[in-house]
Structure 1
């Protein structure tokens, strides 16, 4: 029997050994066939020292060695939370919206590009949150709806010249139809079976986009997609109107900010509606919900359809921003990325999904200087976060446990 105090140190030793076994092939095996250990050991020893210090501080904190610091800090935090609770929630929302509107005025192009990517993933994460977080249906092929929305706008823009704003509801409607088509065969399935089937449908959509040369141009993709445009008043020669193409990144930021705010409001309204309550009942215990009169068949189908709507909107914007789409942008890795945002942020939590998208898009940029082992550091940060806060960065207030998980 391992004593409780020495157990973390044993886990640390095993973890560091595995870390070296993973790190050495990346840095110690070279293209010319030579094997070295110095660079791998330099990186490993830094991580080992940092991890040892972290575990040591954690053990000392458990023993109460830092009570003279943690107790005053806890009081300060409680007083800060009580002071923050006195400010009405609409004030915080307006403050956040004001910061988001002013963001491009104080940042450069690189920061704006990262912010645009974050907002796109916020739309995707909140759409998947309807399916996974609210209804409790594990979907591994969600990126297919993203692709449907992108190709809808690409085809209508290139072949028929349909403007972006008119294509948004069309893309949302077709993505919703795809959600119904994918969701209908999976309504009788649960758990791992549901995940495998949704994964298969997601790959089917990607393969169709890759092989239907007459419609999608196959792996070559579609070029020449028009950027969003707006009609603005012109007072130069009297009252008139003119079209302005929103090609600048600053303008595109405001377009996707509008879509993100619309998605947040819509998902919030769904969450606190009767439909949202029914979805949560299905998530907690589908059998009990059905016995209480909840139409689980239609509501699960509606969850797929509503989640697909927001994916279609994000896909239409993605096509307008890149002005090029191809099947390589809609792989399973993207679905896994969006699912990781939902789980990391907190299932069923709108602020949590926003934080998860911010973390998973911004962290790789922070670790960009690590070059070869950037993703290794990124994965380690994610693992540490889930160990520290397994319920997510911002857990939902209404979250129970499914009967299958209890068993």
Structure 2
């Protein structure tokens, strides 16, 4: 009973914090306390969090190597743009269309491609993303290479905030479920998982479809915030951007994905006047991370991992000081 009471108290505290952050953000945005350029970065960070968390489900928790996330984002963005702009429907229908279309695409791509592993899977998913980009560039009904404009603005703070929160909660709950444990077992040792009776293909496809659907939702939020989208927004470099967020924050860590999305969005904003050096800076950051923190900033254990790392560094310094004094 006490444990249940503590659990309920923790949940109530979490809900209160979530609502307070929402109210604080809404007041600051509506009152103009946050400058427009910072506001736009906040929206991009929110969208990137959804992308990073959903890719981490595929790459981090299931152990697959997908480079096609930008393709799913593109499908979701154009699906929502068509539904809300060309057909004049409400944003909820745009989001639903984005989620359903990208989930179906994830299923169609996932069934054959997830039989591949490692680099072969990465190449297959990257090929899918490039095919989507080329098809959109040559489909004149959605503007072709010039893109679509006059997309209705529906991505308000309320929509963004609660979709981000829902994404984190739903994927976190999935990971803690039996299905999520099966995905983690596949990541750790696919052959052993299969020997234990886990249907590895089924769970890999399931994770891939869920990740694709959330990437599509992120695309819908992006399209209905930017007013204008074009196929080149969803090229190879966008997939790399999302992957860097996952690796930087910590593969197999939801909190790491959030941190990675925030930090790299801040770095990108600071490099606004020198975008040609952005990927160079990303490469340097990744090299430093791989050398000193190969599991990412937070690692698989989230905040607990970073606390252990700091303690380890402090112990090393104390040992070095003791050796020097002796």
Query: What TM-score do you get using the length of structure 1 for normalisation?
Result: 0.67
Alpha-carbon distance change, 321 to 212 in structure 1, aligned in 2, over 3 angstroms: same
**Equivalent residues in 2 for 1:150-189, closer than 5 Å:** 150-189=77-116
C-alpha contact 2:81 2:94 (8 A) present in aligned 1: no
**Equivalent residues in 2 for 1:131-146, closer than 5 Å:** 131-146=58-73
Q: Which residue of 2 aligns with 1:222?
A: 148
- Inter-partner Cα distance in structure 1 for 2:271 and 2:92: 36
- State which structure, 1 or 2, has the greater radius of gyration over its C-alpha atoms: 1
C-alpha contact 1:144 1:202 (8 A) present in aligned 2: yes
**Equivalent residues in 2 for 1:281-320, closer than 5 Å:** 281-320=185-224
- Pick from 14, 18, 21 the counterpart of residue 99 of structure 1: 21
Residues 162-190 of structure 1: CA distance to partner in whole angstroms, max 9, x if unpaired? 11112212210111001111111112211
Q: Which residue of 1 aligns with 2:131?
A: 204
Deviation of 1:376 (Å): 3.9
Deviation of 1:385 (Å): 3.1
The Cα RMSD (Å) is 2.2
C-alpha contact 1:149 1:314 (8 A) present in aligned 2: yes
Residues 23-71 of structure 1: CA distance to partner in whole angstroms, max 9, x if unpaired? xxxxxxxxxxxxxxxxxxxxxxxxxxxxxxxxxxxxxxxxxxxxxxxxx
Alpha-carbon distance change, 386 to 254 in structure 1, aligned in 2, over 3 angstroms: farther
C-alpha contact 1:172 1:310 (8 A) present in aligned 2: yes
**Equivalent residues in 2 for 1:232-251, closer than 5 Å:** none
Q: Which runs of 5+ in 1 are unaligned?
A: 1-86, 229-245, 247-251, 399-407
Query: What TM-score do you get using the length of structure 2 for normalisation?
Result: 0.82
C-alpha contact 1:150 1:312 (8 A) present in aligned 2: yes
**Equivalent residues in 2 for 1:259-298, closer than 5 Å:** 259-298=163-202
Alpha-carbon distance change, 339 to 90 in structure 1, aligned in 2, over 3 angstroms: farther
C-alpha contact 1:223 1:325 (8 A) present in aligned 2: yes
C-alpha contact 2:142 2:148 (8 A) present in aligned 1: yes
Alpha-carbon distance change, 289 to 164 in structure 1, aligned in 2, over 3 angstroms: same
Deviation of 1:378 (Å): 4.8
C-alpha contact 2:133 2:234 (8 A) present in aligned 1: yes
Q: Which residue of 2 aligns with 1:34?
A: none
- Inter-partner Cα distance in structure 2 for 1:114 and 1:256: 12
Alpha-carbon distance change, 98 to 137 in structure 1, aligned in 2, over 3 angstroms: same
Alpha-carbon distance change, 333 to 156 in structure 1, aligned in 2, over 3 angstroms: same
Residues 362-386 of structure 1: CA distance to partner in whole angstroms, max 9, x if unpaired? 0122344668756544543343233
User: In the comparison of the two structures, how many residue pairs are matched?
Assistant: 289
In terms of mean alpha carbon deviation, does 274-283 or 99-108 score higher? 99-108
- Pick from 245, 252, 271 the counterpart of residue 348 of structure 1: 252
- Pick from 193, 206, 212 the counterpart of residue 120 of structure 2: 193
- Inter-partner Cα distance in structure 2 for 1:364 and 1:138: 24
Deviation of 1:90 (Å): 6.1
Alpha-carbon distance change, 372 to 190 in structure 1, aligned in 2, over 3 angstroms: closer
- Inter-partner Cα distance in structure 2 for 1:115 and 1:378: 20
Residues 258-277 of structure 1: CA distance to partner in whole angstroms, max 9, x if unpaired? 11011011111111001100
Residues 185-236 of structure 1: CA distance to partner in whole angstroms, max 9, x if unpaired? 11221111111111111111111111122x32211212222222xxxxxxxx
Deviation of 1:394 (Å): 1.1
Greater relative contact order structure (CA < 8 Å, 6+ sep)? 2
Q: Which residue of 2 aligns with 1:127?
A: 54
Larger helix proportion of the pair: 2
Alpha-carbon distance change, 364 to 225 in structure 1, aligned in 2, over 3 angstroms: closer
C-alpha contact 2:179 2:203 (8 A) present in aligned 1: yes
Instruction: State the secondary structure of the residue aligned to 2:294.
Output: coil
Q: Which residue of 1 aligns with 2:312?
A: none
Deviation of 1:287 (Å): 1.1
Q: Which runs of 5+ in 2 are unaligned?
A: 1-8, 303-326
